[in-house]
């Protein structure tokens, strides 16, 4: 799968053909391909997928709000779970 963005912020992506990223987004995006295949096969309706999208956005918003309200980590937490020793 192709990348949508360059190798670094500010990458002009002059190595790409005009419209390459737009074509990739429209025709090769794995989520869109899944949606087309699943809806086309009658496995799920577009309305069901939209409802799932809305549910996921609520979960994300709730997780972000919870994280913003959580206490800041302490300096002792800096290396917690970074290196494991048993």
- Is the pTM higher than 0.85? The answer reads no
In a domain, 77, yes or no: no
Range of the domain at 49: 1-72
CA distance 26 to 38: 17
- Give me the number of domains the chain comprises: 1
In a domain, 23, yes or no: yes
Name the pLDDT band for 50 (thresholds 50, 70, 90).
Answer: very high
Mean pLDDT, all residues of the chain: 91
In a domain, 81, yes or no: no
Positive or negative torsion for Cα 44, 45, 50, 55: negative
* C-alpha distance from residue 13 to each of 1, 23, 24, 44, 84 (Å): 16, 15, 14, 37, 39
The distance in angstroms from the start CA to the end CA of the chain is 38
CA distance 5 to 25: 11
pLDDT of res. 86: 55
């Amino acid at each position: 799968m192709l990348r949508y963005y360059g190798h670094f912020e500010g990458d002009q992506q002059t190595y790409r053909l005009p419209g390459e990223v737009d074509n990739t987004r429209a025709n090769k995006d794995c989520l869109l391909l899944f949606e087309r295949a699943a809806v086309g096969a009658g496995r799920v309706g577009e309305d069901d997928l939209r409802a799932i999208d809305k549910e996921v956005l609520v979960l994300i918003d709730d997780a972000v709000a919870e994280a913003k309200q959580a206490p800041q980590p302490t300096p002792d937490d800096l290396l917690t779970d970074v290196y494991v020793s048993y």
